[in-house]
Chains A and B, each alone.
Chain A
Amino acid sequence: GQQVMQIPQYQHVQEGEDFTTYCNSSTTLSNIQWYKQRPGGHPVFLIQLVKSGEVKKQKRLTFQFGEAKKNSSLHITATQTTDVGTYFCAGPKQAGTALIFGKGTTLSVSS
C-alpha cells in the first residue's frame, strides 16, 4: 500500500547546529505538508508544498519538494531549544480521501 517514510527517527543536536529530516513517498503526491508536535502538545501545521521542485522558507526553516513530487525535506539552520519536538510530513492518499503521516523525526537540542 501507499507509504510515507521519514528519516531519521531521532536526532540530537547541539544548539546552533543544523538539522535535516527527509520524507519519501512510495507514490507521487499532489502536495506535501509538514507538521510540528511539541512534547505534550498536538500537531501544528507548518507548511504545504504543491509544485515540483518548490522551496519555501520560514525564518530558519527551509522546506523542499522534490522534482518527482515523491520526496521532501525540512532543514533547520542554527537550531534553538525552541525547535525541540517531532516533525511529521504528510501527503494525501491516492484516492484523495485523507492524509498519510510519516512516522516523524524527533529532534532534541541541548544548549
Chain B
Amino acid sequence: DTEVTQTPKHLVMGMTNKKSLKCEQHMGHRAMYWYKQKAKKPPELMFVYSYEKLSINESVPSRFSPECPNSSLLNLHLHALQPEDSALYLCASSQARVNEQFFGPGTRLTVL
C-alpha cells in the first residue's frame, strides 16, 4: 500500500468552529508532515513528526495543533481559524526526513 489518505476532502468552517483533519499511511514511514498550499504556490511546511514526536514546528500559529496518535496517523486540529487560513492542507510521509515524500490528496479548507 503506497497511499496516503486524508479526510475530509473538503471542509468549510466558521471562525469559531473546531475541526480536525486526518491523515493515514500504512507504508511504515517514520516521518510525517503537514503542509499548507495556497493557489499557484509551493507546499509550505508546517509541522514534521519523526518517530511520532514533533520535530519541527515552522512557527505555525497555535490555532493549528498537530497530533500523532501512532506511527500511521496524523491529525491537525483547527480552532479559531481566520479566512486567510483557507488553503489546501497536504499530509505527506517518508521513510526518513530527506527521502522521497508521498503526499495525500489534501483537504481543501475554506474558512468563512
The residues of A with any CB-CB pair to B shorter than 8 Å are: 30-31, 33, 35, 41-45, 48, 88, 92, 96-99, 101-104, 106
Residue B97 lies at the interface, judged by CB distance under 8 Å to chain A? yes
Contact of B41 among A43, A98, A103 (CB under 8 A): A103
DSSP majority for the B interface?
loop
Q: Is the pair A97, B100 in contact by a Cβ cutoff of 8 Å?
A: no
Residue pair A101, B43 in contact (C-beta under 8 Å): yes
Chain A residues within 8 Å of B88, by CB: 42
Please give the number of chain B residues whose Cβ is less than 8 angstroms from any Cβ of chain A in the complex.
22
Decide yes or no whether B56 CB sits under 8 A from chain A: yes
B54-94 CB contacts (< 8 Å) to partner A: 55-56, 88, 90, 92
CB contacts (< 8 Å) of B105 on chain A: these are 41-42
Please tell me if the beta carbons of B90 and A97 are within 8 angstroms of each other in the complex. no
Decide if B98 touches A88 in the complex (CB within 8 Å). no
Q: Indicate if B48 sits at the interface (CB-CB under 8 A).
A: yes
- Decide yes or no: A97 and B103 within 8 Å by CB, A103-B42, A104-B42 being known contacts: no
Nearest Cβ on chain A to B35's Cβ, whole angstroms = 9
Asked if A102 and B42 make an inter-chain contact with CB atoms under 8 angstroms apart, the answer reads yes
Which A residues are in CB contact (< 8 Å) with B104?
42
Chain A residues whose C-beta falls within 8 Å of the C-beta of B48 in the assembled complex: 97-98
| Most chain B beta-carbon neighbours within 10 Å: one of A41, A45, A96, A103 | A45
Question: Residue-by-residue, is B13-50 near A (CB-CB < 8 Å gives 1, otherwise 0)?
Answer: 00000000000000000000100000011110100100
A88 in contact with B42 given A31-B98, A97-B48, A97-B97 (CB within 8 Å):
yes
Q: Whole-angstrom distance between the alpha carbons of A74 and B56 in the complex?
A: 30
B75: shortest Cβ distance to chain A, in Å? 18
Output the nearest chain A residue to B96 by Cβ-Cβ distance.
Answer: A96
Whole-angstrom distance between the alpha carbons of A41 and B101 in the complex?
15
| Complex CA distance for A41 and B106, rounded to whole angstroms | 8
CB neighbours of A48 from chain B (8 A): 99-100
B102 interface neighbour in A41, A45, A92, A97, Cβ under 8 Å: A45
